[in-house]
Amino acid sequence: MTERATEIVGPALFQTERQRQILSLTIQHGRVEVAELSDRFAVTTETIRRDLSDLQRHRSVRRVHGGAVPWETAGFEPLVSIRSDQHDGEKRRLAQAAVAELPDTGSVIIDSGSTLTRFAEAIPHDCSLRIVTNSLATAQVLTEYNEVDVIVVGGKVRKNTLAMVDADAVAAVEPLSVDTLFISSDAASPGVGLTTPYREEAALKRAMIKAARRVVTLVDYSKFASDHFIRFAEWSDIDVLVTNNEVDPTVVATIEAMGTTVILT
């Protein structure tokens, strides 16, 4: 972890809040150390080891010698509340910029993910569209919009992300034909495209792309650090990329050369 991550944060926290922060730090930094966490939260190393054991029982982290790493290699997805906290300012910038890509009338699909929940929050309240989503969090936001018809894709709810991404969700999306898709990605690179570690999510994203006449992807700059196991889209599938101006200009130029319009915020 960085020096900032090892600073003591003040009064002792309740166990659940401390464990939530430990999980967030593990995801952010890739590894946490027992001694550093003990200093940060002003508790004993034995308390931190119990916290890590609790998180491991919930398949949130893996215990390793001296600390813990994320459970991502086993397909773990961070809780939606934690994902929403990460790079929140950047996600809100993307959401505001992407609103301009909404059609005036017609239908859209909004994919699941914390960035796209921020996008739903940024949609003007006088919007009049039919919106399909596989995200319960996004659907809840959209119920506040009187002129929006909200259609929720069915399927089993993934509790960590409040999204439906199973075969039933794919079957519900396949017959659709919509004007615009707003989609996100766990990772992106100019050479590989858009990738995710999760097979079911990749299958649903492919079905969404096929169902849309225009595809807009919102990807914050942190997602350009690496590729994941499964590619669900090449840049030729993406009409518009909305990302942060922190992305390397050579990456932006390469993506634009493949025909994707890039909007920087």
pTM: 0.71
Exposed, middle or buried: residue 88 (CB in 10 Å: 0-12, 13-18, 19+)? Answer: middle
Residue 144 φ/ψ, nearest 5 degrees: -80, -10
What are the residues facing 180 on neighbouring strands? 108, 214
Helices marked H in the chain — which ranges?
15-29, 34-41, 45-57, 80-85, 88-98, 114-122, 136-142, 167-173, 199-211, 249-257
What is the domain partition of the chain in residue ranges? 4-74, 81-264
Q: Which CATH class is domain 81-264?
A: alpha beta
- Gyration radius of the chain's alpha carbons: 19
Per-residue pLDDT of the chain (265 residues; tens, 9 = 90+): 544 343 434 445 678 888 888 987 887 677 889 999 999 999 999 999 999 998 888 778 888 888 888 875 444 454 454 444 556 788 999 999 999 999 999 999 999 998 999 999 999 999 999 999 999 999 999 998 999 999 999 998 887 788 999 999 999 999 999 999 999 998 999 999 999 888 899 999 999 999 999 999 999 988 897 788 899 999 999 999 999 999 999 999 999 999 999 999 9
Write down the CATH number for the domain with range 4-74.
Answer: 1.10.10.10
Identify residue 175 by its one-letter amino acid code: P
Residue 247: which of 93, 132, 54 has the closest Cα? 93
Exposed, middle or buried: residue 30 (CB in 10 Å: 0-12, 13-18, 19+)? Answer: exposed
